[in-house]
Structure 1
Amino acid sequence: MNKKQEPKVGLVSDLVRQYLRTTDFRIERERSGVSTYVYRINANDEVFYLRILPEQDMSFAPEVYVHQLLRKKGVQVPEVLHFEPVHEELGLSVMLVREIPGAHAGRVTSQESYERVMLDAGSQIALVHGIPVEGFGWIRRGREEDKSVLRGENRSADEQLLEFLEDDVQFLSEKLINKEEASIIRRIMERGLPLMSRYEPRLVHGDFDDSHIFQDNGTYTGIIDFGEIQGSSPLYDLGHFKLHDGQRYKGFPALVEGYQSVVPLTAWDQLEIDLWAVWIGVRRLGIVARRSPDADYVHQLLNRVREVFGVVSRQL
């Protein structure tokens, strides 16, 4: 992909003046964004986020479409105020959204408040999973794509599930886990793949944990950051959340309770959630451990993967 350098602040400020029709604002670069240039804007006692895709051949159109669909379903996601498939001067796709109020769920002050937020988040992510997708894997974002159809990069679930699995397990067996653990992972994945391929592809958030669930004084306010949307089993997001649960508070049981108020889950579904937690953990470790990242995060993630595959191995 042809990736352009980060736009200069002066040019970004010109965009903000044009979109918000005001010169009275403050703008700062958000460094938390990795795949997107993100700017936080304070104007008229409100907060907005301007997002710019670095790749010249990519568009925010599918993400904007997802926001529109979800808001119609009653899912509390950021309102898109402005979108340009290709900004003439930048040559890049641009999206301006209104802030979801509050802070991420991990900043609540008690376990009780956290569980209340997770109940609402569970019912909302179940609505997200009601949106069908054509194909599996990352949602295609090319400018030539049909803007009213969500398409994954892979034709089948097996393509998504097997693309990196053996390479990741082999790498981990050389760097982080022993041969017996690698053998267990291979066995449960082989036996679990049919279970993980049961469902038709649905829209998933792709990075669903409590850092993307927002609350204000213990009241759920919405879900943010749909930059990693995919087509997958609807249980993918629950597996992702379970893998990362407990970094601040324990919220998975409350999340599932909220989810089941919209979509009942069977015992097979519960097992599939664990399988996704293992698969996502192996894929994430295969990525971050190769990049020499924060050793604490790798250690934490590895412990969670071991914990979950230990449970799954006794069921398969």
Structure 2
Amino acid sequence: MHKKQAPSMDKVEAVVHQILGGTVLGIERETQGVSTYVYRIETGKETLYLRILPEHEKSFAAEVLVHNLLLQKGVRVPEVVYFANCDESLGMSVMLVREIPGTHAGENLTREEYDAVLMDAGRQIALANQVPVDGYGWIQRGKHDGKVLRGEHSKIKDVITEFLEPDLSFLSEGILPANEASRIRSILESGAPLMGRHEARLVHGDFDDSHIFQQHGAFTAIIDFGEIQGSSPLYDLGHFKIHDGQRYLGYPALAEGYREVAALSAEDQLEIDLWALWVGVRRLGIIGRRHPGAYLNHLRQAVRKELECIGSKL
């Protein structure tokens, strides 16, 4: 996919001043942006973030729709204050959002405070997972995709199987023993009907505690909807579960909050484990091809833990 280079600061400053007028005190490029170029803007009264989408024919339209739909449902997410399908001077889509106060969960929190924040996040993500999507997989992000959330695939089976065999073949060459890869293949093949029993719902797609914000031990918002997808409403719980434990073990508190909004049956619990396993394999397939490190080791251990967990339920 063709990506444009980050624009010069002169061009960014011109766009910001065009949007906000003469109220800007400072503009600074943020380093955390991966899929987008991100700039921190100080006005003296508040902090804003300008995001620029580098893909040539892509737009923030669908993401803006997601933010607005979630705010209407009472989900705390960053408020969008400006959006352009394609800024004329940059040739790219831009989106301006208000800063969420605080920092990610797990930073300077006691265990009790962390659990309380995770319970609030569970209630919030349960509401987010109620938003319907037309289709499964990555939400389409063309310039005309701002009215309906539409996934790339008509069947969830296509999402589940798209990378599964190549990932397992690659992982069995050194990251996972061949017998574990074979067992994963068998479990996910038999579990696919359970994973595919729901109509498509909106999922965050990258839900872990780095995207849960808090201030002084109080939940403030869920951030970063750059990987939104149509999937099972239990996908985000599975994604969180496979990433859990890098700070504290927060999944039990998250699930407790989720259950206050949407009940979780024994079948649901098994499906969450299946999604955790699937996400772990997909992430291992991506990270293993790039570079080893602590994240790869965490995923490998978490996948083995999920194998044991699912084995005790089947």
Residues in 1 aligned to 2:108 and 2:230: alpha-carbon distance in whole angstroms: 31
Matches within 5 A, 1:90-129: 90-129=90-129
Shift of 1:212: 0.4
Task: Point out the more displaced range, 273-282 or 106-115.
Answer: 106-115
Matches within 5 A, 1:244-259: 244-259=243-258
- Per-residue Cα deviation, 1:239-298 (whole angstroms, up to 9, x for no partner): 010111111111111111111111001000001001000000000010111012x41211
Q: Tell me, yes or no, if the aligned pair for 2:61 and 2:144 is still in contact at 8 Å.
A: no
Residues in 2 aligned to 1:300 and 1:182: alpha-carbon distance in whole angstroms: 17
Shift of 1:95: 0.1
Residues in 2 aligned to 1:301 and 1:33: alpha-carbon distance in whole angstroms: 23
State which of 294, 297, 301 in structure 2 corresponds to 1:296. Answer: 294
Letter matched to residue 69 of structure 2 = L
Q: Indicate the residue corresponding to 1:83 in structure 2.
A: 83
Q: Tell me, yes or no, if the aligned pair for 2:11 and 2:89 is still in contact at 8 Å.
A: no
TM (normalized to structure 2)? 0.98
Task: Point out the more displaced range, 123-132 or 25-34.
Answer: 25-34
Residues in 2 aligned to 1:313 and 1:9: alpha-carbon distance in whole angstroms: 54
Q: Indicate the residue corresponding to 2:228 in structure 1.
A: 229
Letter matched to residue 264 of structure 1 = A
Residues in 1 aligned to 2:300 and 2:138: alpha-carbon distance in whole angstroms: 24
Residues in 2 aligned to 1:106 and 1:25: alpha-carbon distance in whole angstroms: 31
Q: Indicate the residue corresponding to 2:276 in structure 1.
A: 277
Shift of 1:24: 3.7
Matches within 5 A, 1:1-316: 1-145=1-145, 147-292=146-291, 294-316=292-314
Q: Tell me, yes or no, if the aligned pair for 1:29 and 1:38 is still in contact at 8 Å.
A: yes
Residues in 1 aligned to 2:123 and 2:159: alpha-carbon distance in whole angstroms: 26
SS at match of 1:35: coil
Task: Point out the more displaced range, 155-164 or 21-30.
Answer: 21-30
Residues in 2 aligned to 1:314 and 1:253: alpha-carbon distance in whole angstroms: 18
SS at match of 1:302: helix
Shift of 1:23: 4.9
- Per-residue Cα deviation, 1:137-176 (whole angstroms, up to 9, x for no partner): 000001133x210000011010000000011001000021
Structure 1 residues not aligned, in runs of 5+? none
Q: Tell me, yes or no, if the aligned pair for 1:81 and 1:98 is still in contact at 8 Å.
A: yes
Shift of 1:4: 0.8
Structure 2 residues not aligned, in runs of 5+? none
Letter matched to residue 190 of structure 1 = E
In structure 2, do the counterparts of structure 1 residues 24 and 50 end up closer, same or farther at CA, with 3 Å as the change threshold?
closer
TM (normalized to structure 1)? 0.97
Letter matched to residue 81 of structure 1 = V
Query: Over aligned residues, Cα RMSD in angstroms?
Result: 1.0
Equivalent residues, number:
314
Shift of 1:109: 2.1
Residues in 1 aligned to 2:157 and 2:92: alpha-carbon distance in whole angstroms: 33
